[in-house]
């Protein structure tokens, strides 16, 4: 009991930086392979479903293969450091993209999916005011122009640093997107939210849901998978 | 009637009698009317250039869209694609007054060369039909530039800004990345067939790329479809009637907009020019009328004895008033006719030579050819006569209120 209390007090005493590191470890571990489904909900109440596989290695190497819909099949994305590329199979060319461009016309931006580690791009402090019980609110300010947003406010579980919701702001202070993280699942012994719902606050009828079908940390991706020449192969 | 004619004869004699004063007044009034006529002509010429650029360089006389297109400006134009094959074009051509029609696809795209990617607005145009509706587009191209080819071998043109930022040269290959009508990204290749001329006078879109219609349709996956049809007719001023005929022919699924509804900036520019001309006209009229007022006051003062004598021999006050007013109206009329004639000559000369005027934001001047209607000149002359007569009412009233003894004793 005493040991449990000690552990709890340690958790409570975590600094904002430590919370953010734990968030990064949950949302963008060092290496993993995952299968994701994104459903984009449009203004006209129609939806579009994208299926993809994502592979990550280290801090800054990510690759995505799109499998559906048919119009996106064969498309690939690659993150190499600060550079993002989109490979189009019909023209056999890769086009450089910006972190803040929309991810496949949905309501996530590219960095939300391919640049999920916030510690490198943001300085963090606790948000002023009292958080709801059992939660901690992080106020993250961009420290590099390549950061996905200018400011992010994250609501985390105080004990696990598991994200609950997020708000994503432009430099002007305008709220661009808001996210909710839900359905914590155990993927081969690794627990994390399996569903992220991102609402476009500029076009409030639009939102996109990203669901993780599988998430596997026990992979050893070769670095050769993260070079431009490998796109399309 | 005889009395009026006699009054006019005396007034005419008075105008001729004091030649120097009359000449100065005539020149002043004539200059004012001349400048006004010329300004009207120049503004007419400028407005004609603006309308031509908009109608024959961008919008066409009217445009056809799928219903909801204009009201939903925040939506991608690709949501409003509609079949625009030969059958649809034939249906539009069959409407009375339609001379030509061309399909277009408007889209947002990323344009990429090597490691640089920029956002741009794209417009897919039919390499043949487009110039039937908007022949001015040819003038917007720099020499040797062309939009040609199809989906696989298309050549497009970009604005100078896009050219400079991407360091483009003719023959380069551009990679276009655009969301299709459903939001899924698609890629396309287009060769650089040249550039728009460095004259963005009426184009607010600095990053713009024109590609062949087939290339745009393939890129955004809208086969045989368009987001708009641009239509040309013989008389742009009858655009409203054409709009009604087209709406009746196409049914409720479509909406038709005239160039005035589409190019609000041009309509605002025309309205601003009219207001500015109205203000300048007002100032000129005021200065000229004060000149007439002053001249007539001086005339009344100089002829005090003469007026006293006229009254002493029984000329009525009403006749004195009429005499002064008539004299001013004759001066005003003569000056305006002289000025109007000079103004028309200046307009004709400027039209022959062409005025080089650089609109705000443009890097190259437009050649403006002024023109003026005879109705405007006639209105200016009649207006000057009436204005001069009104300006002379006060001096005439003062003259008519003199008593013969006071008038004769004033000297």
The SS3 assignment for B180 reads: coil
- The pLDDT, as a whole number, for residue B203 is 53
- For B116, nearest residue in chain A (alpha carbons): A96
Q: Are residues B92 and B194 in the same domain?
A: yes
The SS3 assignment for B170 reads: coil
Record: contact A42-B183, CB cut-off 8 A:
yes
- For A206, nearest residue in chain B (alpha carbons): B75
Q: Has residue B129 been placed in a domain?
A: yes
A11 to chain B, closest Cα gap in Å: 43
Q: Are residues B280 and B379 in the same domain?
A: yes
Look up tokens 């026990």; give the residue: A218
Whole-angstrom CA distances from A42 to B187, B194, B358 are: 22, 37, 45
- The pLDDT, as a whole number, for residue B136 is 86
> Does residue B260 have a cis bond before it (omega within 30 degrees)?
no
Choose one of B251, B286, B310: the last residue of a domain: B251
Q: Are residues B72 and B95 in the same domain?
A: yes
Print the domain residue range for B291: 2-54+267-409
pLDDT digits (tens, 9 = 90+) for A75-123: 999 999 888 999 999 999 898 888 888 888 788 988 888 877 789 889 9
ipTM given for this complex:
0.77
Is pLDDT above 50 for A216?
A: yes
Contact A232, A87 (CB under 8 A): yes
Residue partners of A93: CB distance under 8 A and separation at least 6? A87, B175, B187, B189
Q: Are residues B287 and B314 in the same domain?
A: yes
Cα separation of the two ends of chain B? 34
Choose one of B251, B279, B313: the last residue of a domain: B251
Q: Has residue B354 been placed in a domain?
A: yes
- For B220, nearest residue in chain A (alpha carbons): A71
Output helix, strand, coil percentages for chain B, rounded to the nearest 5.
55, 20, 25
Residue B78 DSSP one-character state: G
| Burial grade of A106 (CB within 10 A; 0-12, 13-18, 19 or more) | buried
Of A43, A44, A91, the CB nearest to B187: A91
pLDDT digits (tens, 9 = 90+) for B106-145: 999 999 998 888 999 999 999 999 999 999 888 888 888 9
User: How is residue B46 written in tokens?
Assistant: 């400028």
Q: Are residues B73 and B50 in the same domain?
A: no
Instruction: Describe the crossing of helices B317-353 and B19-54 by its angle, rounded to 10 degrees.
Output: 40
Contact B241, B154 (CB under 8 A): no
Record: contact A93-B175, CB cut-off 8 A:
yes
- Domains in chain B, number: 2
pLDDT digits (tens, 9 = 90+) for B316-362: 888 888 888 888 888 888 899 999 999 999 999 999 998 887 665 55
Q: What distance in Å separates the CA atoms of residue B388 and residue B327, rounded to the nearest whole number?
A: 9
- Cα dihedral angle (A147, A148, A152, A158), rounded to 10 degrees? -90
Among A27-31, A202-206, B145-149, B254-258, the least confident range:
A202-206
* CATH superfamily membership of A14-226: Lipoprotein localisation LolA/LolB/LppX (2.50.20.10)
Q: What distance in Å separates the CA atoms of residue A146 and residue A148, rounded to the nearest whole number?
A: 6
Q: Has residue B262 been placed in a domain?
A: no
Mutate to test the interface with B, among A105, A108, A208, A232 (most CBs of B within 10 A): A105
The SS3 assignment for A42 reads: coil
Q: Has residue B235 been placed in a domain?
A: yes
Q: What distance in Å separates the CA atoms of residue A159 and residue A153, rounded to the nearest whole number?
A: 18
Q: Are residues B247 and B271 in the same domain?
A: no
Among B6-10, B149-153, B233-237, B388-392, the least confident range:
B6-10
Q: Has residue B261 been placed in a domain?
A: no
Look up tokens 């649809």; give the residue: B88
- For B181, nearest residue in chain A (alpha carbons): A105
Is pLDDT above 70 for B384?
A: yes
Look at residues A36, A31, A85 and name the one whose alpha carbon lies nearest to residue A208.
A36
Q: Are residues B79 and B198 in the same domain?
A: yes
Q: What distance in Å separates the CA atoms of residue A214 and residue B82, rounded to the nearest whole number?
A: 40
> CB B16: neighbour CB atoms within 10 A?
10
User: How is residue A106 written in tokens?
Assistant: 């949905």
Please list every residue in chain A whose beta carbon sits closer than 8 Å to the beta carbon of residue B187. Answer: 88, 90-91, 93, 95
């Amino acid at each position: 009991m005493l040991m449990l209390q000690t552990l709890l007090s340690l958790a409570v005493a975590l600094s904002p930086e430590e919370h953010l590191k734990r968030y990064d470890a949950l949302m963008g571990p060092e290496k993993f392979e995952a299968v994701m489904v994104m459903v984009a909900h449009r203004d006209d109440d129609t939806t579009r479903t994208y299926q993809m596989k994502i592979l990550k290695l280290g801090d800054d190497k990510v690759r995505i293969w799109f499998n559906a819909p048919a119009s996106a099949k064969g498309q690939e994305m690659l993150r190499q450091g600060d550079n993002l590329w989109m490979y189009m199979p019909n023209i056999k060319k890769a086009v450089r993209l910006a972190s803040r461009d929309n991810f496949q016309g949905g309501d996530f931006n590219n960095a939300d999916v391919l640049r999920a580690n916030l510690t490198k791009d943001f300085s963090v402090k606790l948000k002023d005011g009292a958080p709801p019980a059992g939660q901690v609110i992080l106020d993250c300010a961009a420290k590099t122009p390549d950061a996905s947003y200018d400011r992010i406010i994250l609501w985390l579980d105080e004990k696990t640093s598991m994200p609950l919701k997020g708000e994503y702001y432009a430099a002007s202070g305008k709220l661009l997107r808001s996210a909710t993280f839900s359905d914590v699942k155990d993927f081969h012994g690794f627990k994390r939210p399996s569903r992220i719902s991102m609402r476009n606050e500029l076009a409030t009828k639009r939102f996109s849901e990203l669901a993780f079908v599988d998430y596997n940390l026990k992979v050893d991706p070769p670095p050769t998978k993260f070079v431009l020449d490998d796109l399309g192969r | 009637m005889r009395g009026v004619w006699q009054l006019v004869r005396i007034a005419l004699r008075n105008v001729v009698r004091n030649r120097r004063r009359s000449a100065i007044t005539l020149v002043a009034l004539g200059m004012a009317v001349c400048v006004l006529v010329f300004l009207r002509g120049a503004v007419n010429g400028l407005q004609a250039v603006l309308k031509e650029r908009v109608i024959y360089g961008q919008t066409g006389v009217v445009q056809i869209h799928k219903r909801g297109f204009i009201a939903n400006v925040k939506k991608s134009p690709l949501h409003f694609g509609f079949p625009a094959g030969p059958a649809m074009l034939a249906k539009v051509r069959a409407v009375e007054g339609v001379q030509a029609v061309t399909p277009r696809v408007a889209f947002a795209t990323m344009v990429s060369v090597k490691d640089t990617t920029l956002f741009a607005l794209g417009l897919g145009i039919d390499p043949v039909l487009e110039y039937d509706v908007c022949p001015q587009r040819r003038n917007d191209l720099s020499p040797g530039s062309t939009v040609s080819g199809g989906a696989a071998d298309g050549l497009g043109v970009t604005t100078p800004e896009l050219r400079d930022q991407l360091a483009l040269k003719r023959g380069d290959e551009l990679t276009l990345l655009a969301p299709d009508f459903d939001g899924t990204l698609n890629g396309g290749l287009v060769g650089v067939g040249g550039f728009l001329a460095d004259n963005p006078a009426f184009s607010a879109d600095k990053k713009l790329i024109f590609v062949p219609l087939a290339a745009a349709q393939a890129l955004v996956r809208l086969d045989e479809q368009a987001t708009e049809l641009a239509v040309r007719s013989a008389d742009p001023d009858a655009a409203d009637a054409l709009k009604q005929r087209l709406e009746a022919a196409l049914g409720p699924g479509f909406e038709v907009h005239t160039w005035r509804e589409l190019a609000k900036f041009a309509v605002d520019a025309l309205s601003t020019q009219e207001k500015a001309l109205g203000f300048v006209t007002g100032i000129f009229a005021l200065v000229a009328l004060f000149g007439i007022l002053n001249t007539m006051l001086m005339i009344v003062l100089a002829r005090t004895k003469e007026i006293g004598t006229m009254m002493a021999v029984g000329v009525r006050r009403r006749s004195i008033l009429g005499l002064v007013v008539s004299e001013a109206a004759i001066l005003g009329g003569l000056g305006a006719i002289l000025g109007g004639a000079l103004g028309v000559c200046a307009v004709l000369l400027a039209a022959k030579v062409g005025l080089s005027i650089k609109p705000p934001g443009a890097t190259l001047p437009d050649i403006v050819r002024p023109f003026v209607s005879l109705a405007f000149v006639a209105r200016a002359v009649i207006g000057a006569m009436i204005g001069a007569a009104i300006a002379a009412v006060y001096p005439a009233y003062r003259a008519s209120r003199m008593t013969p003894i006071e008038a004769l004793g004033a000297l």
